[in-house]
Structure 1
Amino acid sequence: MTKSLEMPDCNYPKEAVLVRPGAATPRHSLYLSNLDDQPFLRFSIRYLYLYRTAVGVEALKSSLSTVLVDYYPLVGRLRASADDRGKLEVDCGEQGALFAEGHLDLTAAEFLEGSGRPNRSWRKLLYRVEAQSFLDVPPLVVQVIHLSCGGMLLCTAISHCLCDGIGTAQFLHAWAQATAKPNADPSVVVVPPPPFHSRRVLTPRSPPKIAFPHPEFSAPREPGLNVLEQVLLSPQPLAPVSVTFAPSQILRLKKQCVPSFKCTSFEVLAWHVWRCWVRSLDLPPALRVRLLFSTNVRRRLDPELPHGYYGNGFILGCAEARVDRLVRSSARCGVKLVQQAKERVCDGYVRSVVDLLEERRGRKPDLSASLVISQWSKLGLEDLDFGGGRPLHMGPLASEIYCLFLPVVGDLHAFTVLVSVPQGCAERLEHLLRGEETNGGSWWHQK
């Protein structure tokens, strides 16, 4: 298995500071949609970037201050709505984004060598905010870490209640461009779209109308579910498994779906990872398991969400199967389950989810027998250039919660799969992902 690097402690020569917008911004309460303030999204999306060459901290602060004029809700604070019990809103009052600067006795080469699998020590790379609750944490926290070789680590934590993956990428690209090319001519440079703030486009209907079944929110007690819970809640520590799939390996997976069956790289890889995950855990044959994955709904709504919408514009697609059938299924049948889950997501389905969350406040997706995939690839996150070149590495600070499909720096069509399982299952899962225990032999190195 790939090496995991234990992080030393950061040295902080200065106190963290608050960065505020460089010009006056509107003061008001920002309504959050039912997709924004779901209980299972009340955390921060944490990105980590490694750069060979450091960028000046004052330049980063100055450009951040400039960009926050447009993205001013990110310097507000989350709070409970006084008008709508159980909902959150953003108090847009220019409270500020938290910016920390540290030093680490580590080189970029040393980090790269152990960058395949994050571990709990990596959390040291993001400034720890002392807060009573999630509501007290600033929606945007940034830490710049100077490395002993002259490179830098850049870590960001962005509240998932305000942004989804597409939204965070939009903001980060705007910040990077403001740093690298502050006087760029918009007619020559591709400029990120201006942010669209209002979430009222996803207001629930009155009365709510739940017109579709939503299995991702149900929690039936299936035979054998206690076995899965025992495996996932065992005293064994979770171990991250990281496998990179080159385009040639994804193509070999797709060839298992022939004849005459088209599928995307995400669809075939999602099926493969789901099936391998189930096999590695050695689950009861009759147990029904789910695959939950983020599905962008921006263009599936009628009308479409406005250009520049950076709030949560996704819902969870849900595929289901019994363990024995999933394990024995052909690639064609397994991928079809993923495709059908995607095809169900239409305007009416999304509105039904919004209304379900209105009628049943506090409802969470059922994760008891589910693998959850969050796709960070295809968002351009690996292209973030603040003026010192593109990153050497892009990834998360932790991997315990969801399975992540990560971009591969320098290869647009490759994916890195990062997923955590109990330590006793990790080696088998890696072998399965690499195709080393298939009935027909390994396809991983086939020509």
Structure 2
Amino acid sequence: MCDPSGIAQFIKGIAEIAQGSSKPSVMPVWCRELLCARDPPTVTCLHPEYDQPPLDDNKNVFSKPCQASFFFGPKQIHALRRLLPLHLAQSSSTFDVLTAFLWRSHTAALHYQNPNEEVRLMYVVNARFEPCRSTFNPPLPEGYYGNAFVCPVVVSTVGMLCGRPLSYALELVKKSKKAATEEYVRSTADLMAMNGRPAGSLRRSFVVSDLTKSGLSDVDYGWGKPLYSGIDGIYDIPGACYYFPHTNSKGENGKVVLICLLEEAMKRFEKELNGILHIKDEDEPIKYLSNL
């Protein structure tokens, strides 16, 4: 029916009515025809997010999946930017820097045996927001609450990703974001129509969804803002990763990263992060949520 942005719009509208408004400040817009396939459908872009990579050669046997959360505040993001050339550190968004770092760390934690194996980063780009929104003519109307996202893919070999500086991964992320245009969205819709809505492949993939701007943390039904906003767990999908706004016990604003990994890989992932960022216990780098 709708994506996270549509869900957030609905919840915020209900909260406004609960506080006495006669209608939501942003009225819902149906207009599903705006993102229907073209006639005739024509796939004009490459869509590796729907390719099925071969089975992994990785022979490691891990224990069951588990979930964890990591806090990235100003100090942690500053530490990541110091790993980059000055021009990239100054011109890159926090999302780009953090995503490149986590993708690289995630790949290192999985201990792939073959450095020539390809791994992928998939991340959600919403057509309502920049940079995708500025390519739509006209933009999607305010209040559109259907599904309006695509998942561009970045591909690299394990050896290139883990053996090169962080700037290599960052450049890939930034290049792929530029490909998320209106034409890419139209091409995705056409692919859905022609191929019967194929499922995206999560094999060898690190999947990121940034929900820091969903607005859910500001929802108020009349008794105050929520202590937490976001998903209830991240399911049994190793490699799935979500960003949410968070304020730690020191009052520092930042992002909390929720991630699911197999248990042994999670231990290595935590070690990878702490080793690069030099995090101390008092910095609250990790809070385990649950074992699945």
1:217 counterpart (10, 35, 50): 50
Shift of 1:332: 1.8
The answer for the alignment partner of 2:39 in structure 1 is 206
- Does residue 240 (structure 1) correspond to residue 80 (structure 2)? The answer is no
One-letter amino acid of the structure 2 residue matched with residue 338 of structure 1: V
Is the partner of 2:229 in helix, strand or coil?
Answer: strand
Q: 1:207 to 1:177 in 2, by over 3 A?
A: same
2:161 counterpart (314, 326, 337): 326
CA contact (8 A) 1:393 1:409 kept: no
CA deviation string 1:329-352 (max 9, x = no partner): 222221111111110011111111
Partners of 1:415 and 1:432 in 2: CA distance:
18
One-letter amino acid of the structure 2 residue matched with residue 297 of structure 1: A
Structure 1 unmatched ranges of 5 or more: 1-161
Partners of 1:260 and 1:371 in 2: CA distance:
26
Larger helix proportion of the pair: 2
Partners of 1:305 and 1:194 in 2: CA distance:
14
Is the partner of 1:308 in helix, strand or coil?
Answer: coil
The answer for the alignment partner of 1:251 in structure 2 is 78
CA contact (8 A) 2:47 2:152 kept: no
The answer for the alignment partner of 1:360 in structure 2 is 195
2:257 counterpart (382, 406, 417): 417
One-letter amino acid of the structure 2 residue matched with residue 251 of structure 1: H
The answer for the alignment partner of 1:169 in structure 2 is 8
Fraction of identical pairs, as percent: 30
One-letter amino acid of the structure 2 residue matched with residue 170 of structure 1: Q
The answer for the alignment partner of 1:282 in structure 2 is 111
Shift of 1:373: 1.0
| TM-score, normalised with respect to structure 2 | 0.85
The answer for the alignment partner of 2:26 in structure 1 is 193
CA contact (8 A) 1:292 1:371 kept: yes
Partners of 2:72 and 2:231 in 1: CA distance:
18
Could you say which structure has the greater relative contact order, defined with CA pairs below 8 angstroms and 6 or more residues apart?
A: 2
CA contact (8 A) 1:381 1:407 kept: no
Partners of 1:428 and 1:304 in 2: CA distance:
43
One-letter amino acid of the structure 1 residue matched with residue 20 of structure 2: P
> Which structure 2 residues correspond to residues 293-442 of structure 1 after superposition, within 5 A?
293-298=123-128, 299=133, 300-399=135-234, 400-401=236-237, 402-409=240-247, 413-434=253-274, 436=275, 438=276, 442=277
One-letter amino acid of the structure 1 residue matched with residue 36 of structure 2: T
Partners of 2:53 and 2:227 in 1: CA distance:
44
> Which structure 2 residues correspond to residues 26-105 of structure 1 after superposition, within 5 A?
none
CA contact (8 A) 1:167 1:309 kept: yes
CA contact (8 A) 1:170 1:192 kept: no
Aligned residues: 267
Shift of 1:235: 6.6
One-letter amino acid of the structure 2 residue matched with residue 291 of structure 1: L
Is the partner of 1:426 in helix, strand or coil?
Answer: helix
One-letter amino acid of the structure 2 residue matched with residue 258 of structure 1: P
Shift of 1:419: 1.0
Runs of 4+ in 1 over 6 A off after TM superposition: none
One-letter amino acid of the structure 2 residue matched with residue 336 of structure 1: E
Is the partner of 2:170 in helix, strand or coil?
Answer: helix
In our comparison, the structure showing a higher alpha carbon Rg is 1
2:20 counterpart (175, 182, 186): 182
Partners of 1:172 and 1:213 in 2: CA distance:
35
Shift of 1:177: 1.7
2:100 counterpart (264, 267, 271): 271
Partners of 2:152 and 2:7 in 1: CA distance:
21
Cα RMSD (Å):
2.1
> Which structure 2 residues correspond to residues 90-169 of structure 1 after superposition, within 5 A?
162-169=1-8
CA contact (8 A) 2:191 2:197 kept: no
| TM-score, normalised with respect to structure 1 | 0.56
Partners of 1:355 and 1:316 in 2: CA distance:
15
Is the partner of 1:279 in helix, strand or coil?
Answer: helix
